[in-house]
A and B are shown apart, each in its own frame.
Chain A
């Protein structure tokens, strides 16, 4: 049984009498510890697909299941727990200190305040943002915002981390370390489903898919590759 299974999902948006098909008959499975990237141009449907995968939106047709259970029925139990959703950039709009923001998810899980702060510090250290702990959220720079958002999402030790465009708005030189962080999270067993609009986001992922006009295109697995890489991705160090 796959961790996440999206089966023949279609999603439409209506505005007045106009209708736009954002996702058209998409099927996709994600396994535990897998790093999967969806490449697509703007308005290709990549963010909608991620919201469907996280259970934030429900499909009109088809089914999304997480650990074998229908996400449409179970999303209140899994979203923010077994599924962590990162919409990067959200932290900048938050009030309060970073540590409070990260600890909030733990407090919601009924952790004691002191325990939540300690775990929050550990999570910030895990994502390389420990220096941001005492900063206000609006003081964070691009990569720090993403790292803090990841730390918040990891607070509940999710089995699946869904992250929309992790490198958007991040300085060029800070993108690879950020992507390496996602790789390491997947290596530790948390599946990561991310979207990207550039080739950089595809480096070293387990599976890369492209989406266009809401339709998912051919899946690419490293084993099928015949293009000689500059240097083989660290596939040997991967989980599974």
Chain B
């Protein structure tokens, strides 16, 4: 997501660590989604609500009041600010427009940090899931069953991923389409890696017990 210099204040540098108040605000997905929209383009609350619905409506079902509540939280944490009436940012001022919002440098920085944190692998989560899996896997048969379920989930997710539009467009729309394709492709490659692991895991388990798995104990 592009963060234009016109849309946010210049970063002042300093400590890149998130303060606890910022972390607390960014625990809400709705708040993070709203912050992303404001960073993308300074807008009035109503317009943010419309863009939220278009962009995230499929994942997050929230009312208009939640959008304003999110903007309020972001303002309290100084991640977003109201634009001054004389600000020259090109935000339309219709009769229903109300106040318009833009991200602060702190908001843009916090959002980037939040996003990077979610995009990267989370080894702690994986380790925890692994330990949770161990609790129910005591035999080769159970391990095979666990892997089969895992595979089913991978295949299911791959199937559910929409095939991105392949057309080449230009301008910002074109870039959005490319970014969407990249996101889908990122997920697909993750699934490919998971499926490759499943193939490997089955081979390993078969080496432990070639056929007729039964109740052999793994541990």
Q: Which of B58, B163, B192 contacts A176 (CB 8 A)?
A: B163
Asked if B183 and A227 make an inter-chain contact with CB atoms under 8 angstroms apart, the answer reads no
Kindly list chain A residues whose C-beta atoms are within 8 Å of the C-beta of B206: 213
Interface segment out of the listed B98-106, B132-140, B145-153: B145-153
Q: Does A205 touch B at the CB level, under 8 Å?
A: yes
Q: When chains A and B are docked, how far (Å) is the Cα of A209 from the Cα of B156? A: 9
Point out the residue from B58, B152, B161, B202 that lies within 8 Å of A199, measured CB to CB. B161
Q: Decide if A205 touches B159 in the complex (CB within 8 Å).
A: yes
Q: Quick one: which of A41, A176, A183, A209 contacts B164, CB cutoff 8 A?
A: A176
Whether A202 lies near B153 (C-beta < 8 A) is no
Say yes or no for B195: interface residue by CB 8 A criterion.
Answer: yes
Q: What are the 3 tightest A-B residue pairs by CB atom distance, in nearest-first order?
A: A199-B158, A202-B158, A199-B191
A217 contacts the other chain (CB 8 A): yes
Interface membership of chain A positions 150-192, coded 1 if the CB is closer than 8 angstroms to chain B and 0 otherwise:
0000000000000000000000010011011001000000000
CA distance A29 to B152 in the complex (A): 19
- A233 in contact with B166 (CB, 8 Å): no
Residues from chain B with a CB closer than 8 A to the CB of A200 are 158, 185, 188
Q: B21 on the interface (CB 8 Å rule)?
A: no
Which residues of chain B have C-beta atoms less than 8 A from A218's C-beta? 148, 151-152
Is A18 an interface residue when CB atoms closer than 8 A count as contact?
Answer: no
Q: Which residues of A contact B184 (CB under 8 A)?
A: 203, 230
Report the tally of A-B residue pairs with Cβ distances under 8 A: 105
**Could you mark each residue 179-192 of chain B with 1 if its beta carbon is under 8 Å from any beta carbon of chain A, else 0?**
01101110111011
Task: Flag if A222 contacts B151 (CB, 8 Å).
Answer: no
User: Does B199 interact with chain A (Cβ within 8 Å)?
Assistant: yes
Known: A199-B195, A231-B58. A180 touches B166 (CB 8 A): yes
- For B154, the chain A residues whose CB sits under 8 A away are 199
B159 contacts A225, CB within 8 Å? yes
Pull 16 A–B residue pairs with CB atoms less than 8 Å apart, ordered by A: A39-B195, A176-B181, A179-B163, A198-B192, A199-B154, A199-B158, A199-B192, A204-B162, A208-B158, A208-B159, A222-B159, A227-B153, A227-B160, A228-B59, A229-B162, A230-B187
- Interface centre among A177, A198, A224, by most chain B C-beta atoms within 10 angstroms, is A198
- Establish whether residues B183 and A230, one from each chain, have CB atoms under 8 Å apart when the complex forms: yes
